[in-house]
Amino acid sequence: MSISAKPVPSSQGQTTRHALKVLGVLCQVSEPVSIAETARRLGMNTSVAHRALATLEATGFAERISYSSKYRAGQKTAILVSAFLEGYGLREPGIPVLRQLVLDTDEEAELFVRLGWYCVRLVSVEPPRRDVPVGYIGMTTPLHATMPGKALLATMPEAQIVRYFDFMDSHRIEVDRAGQGAALRDVAEALAAKGYVAGSEDEGDRRAGIVFPVRDEHGAVIAAINSHCRSGLGDLAVLDRLKTICEGLNNYLADDPGAAKTPLDHVPNDSIILPMDRPLT
């Protein structure tokens, strides 16, 4: 006996494609967006964007802000992102390390990982006094856009870095190859010499802090811990304490190399295309 799949009507398939594109916009932005803005970003007719948002709202993947015509990603979208990120082996052992950093510094600490050619915020722990978080879990940027991402990119083989820049070009993200190449070399040298690198708030990086690499059993940097305790740069005792705490995650990986695995290890970097929080040049 054979079972044949019932073909999906072309109109239904088109509606689904529109909804997925709109959902991509909602996941990309950090603030709620209007129907008109969504349509503009996608080059889509306003009525089509409206129908797509209505579909996403009805299914729980989008929600409309009260007394507003703007939308944001819904609870179901957050659940999907959270479920995916829980597939990272580093998430569970990373949480107590970040908590210890926060206890010692009373400043936010974050763990970033690489997903394809992107830097993704995997875990964040904030001090009790923090009212507004610096970013959200799952926040995505190009690797070169923030210092945690640079730490992940700078230690790759030169051929991989060239391939990264080619990927950015193919997706119309302009990158100053010469300038970024020099910056990456500086980051690689700092990590090798000092075991950390400091982000610069002057560059407009709201996640600027002290970045410590997390390495697998082969010495490759697979994640980056970002402590917002910039005062540690002027206090060697504090800095040594931060380094010791972060080393705990490296020790965990030495005992359990399997924790370095990610949900998409088998997928080529070029095949992973994600919406980004901030496509910086």
Long-range contacts, stretch 23-29, CB < 8 angstroms, 24+ apart:
23/56, 23/61, 23/62, 23/73, 23/77, 24/275, 25/275, 26/56, 26/61, 26/62, 26/71, 26/72, 26/73, 26/77, 27/73, 27/77, 27/81, 27/138, 27/275, 28/275, 28/276, 28/277, 29/72
User: What pLDDT score does 106 carry?
Assistant: 87
pTM exceeding the 0.75 threshold for the entire prediction = no
User: The domain at 86-271 falls in which architecture?
Assistant: 2-Layer Sandwich (3.30)
Mean pLDDT of the residues in the chain? 82
Mean pLDDT of all residues in 235-242 = 84
Please report which confidence band the pLDDT of residue 5 belongs to, taking 50, 70 and 90 as the band edges: very low
Q: Looking at residues 102-118, what average pLDDT do you find? A: 90
| From the candidate CATH numbers 3.40.50.10860, 1.10.645.10, 1.10.10.10, 3.40.190.10, the one assigned to the domain spanning 10-78 | 1.10.10.10
DSSP 3-state assignment of 271? Answer: helix
* pLDDT reported for residue 137: 74
H or E element at residue 41: helix 35-42
Q: pLDDT at residue 226 above 70?
A: yes
* pLDDT (tens digit per residue) in 64-82: 988 888 998 887 777 777 7
- Give the tens place of pLDDT for each residue, 145-159: 899 999 999 999 999
pLDDT digits (tens, 9 = 90+) for 119-138: 988 888 888 865 545 556 77
Instruction: List phi, psi (to 5°) of 225.
Output: -95, 130
Q: Which is more confidently placed, 140 or 101?
A: 101
**Order of all β-strands in the sheet with 70-73:** 33-34, 70-73, 62-64
What is the structure's pLDDT at 1?
Answer: 36
The upper half-sphere exposure of residue 133, i.e. CA atoms within 13 Å in the direction of its Cβ, equals 12
pLDDT band at 3 (very low <50, low <70, confident <90, very high): very low
pLDDT at 190: 93
- H or E element that contains 240: helix 236-255
Highest-pLDDT range among 100-104, 150-154, 274-278: 150-154
| HSE-CB for 147 with a 13 A CA cutoff | 27
The predicted pLDDT at position 72 comes to 87
Please state the domain extents for the chain.
10-78, 86-271
